[in-house]
Structure 1
Amino acid sequence: MRLIKLKDVMYITGLARSTVYKYIADGIFPKPVSLGERNVAWVESEIQDWIFAKIAQRDEEFDS
């Protein structure tokens, strides 16, 4: 298991910082893990799962 920082999450997903936090607030994006008082990271596999789900959603919409 690997933890990744916001900069990497943004790079991998193509999302802006504000969008990442909006999606978290909306309950549609993985929550970060607290590493300390002002330090968080995301579980890389959860981010990958979110991306795979988006791809599957696209494919379902395309096939419909």
Structure 2
Amino acid sequence: MTDKILSRSEVLKIVGFSARTLYYEIAAGRFPRQVQISKRRVGWRLSDLQAWLDERGAA
């Protein structure tokens, strides 16, 4: 089974961040890194995002 790739807009809706906060958290190492989909497009693995959400819920 392949992992679903989420777009930035999908990720922002799920986590409730602004785009600026999202990239700040990535740069700080506190958010899953994006994966390169094509030359000009990135996304996030659903499994990585779910693990991050689960970790935050446990904290």
Q: Normalising by structure 1, what TM-score?
A: 0.84
Name the count of aligned residue pairs: 57
Q: Normalising by structure 2, what TM-score?
A: 0.91
Which sections of structure 2, spanning at least 5 residues, go unmatched? none
Percent identity between matched residues is 32
Number of the residue aligned with 1:24: 26
CA RMSD across the alignment: 0.7
Structure 1 runs (4+) deviating above 6 angstroms are none
Partner of residue 49 from structure 1, selected from 45, 48, 51: 51
For residues 20 and 45 of structure 1, what CA distance do their matches in structure 2 show?
Answer: 17
Name the one with the larger helix percent: 1
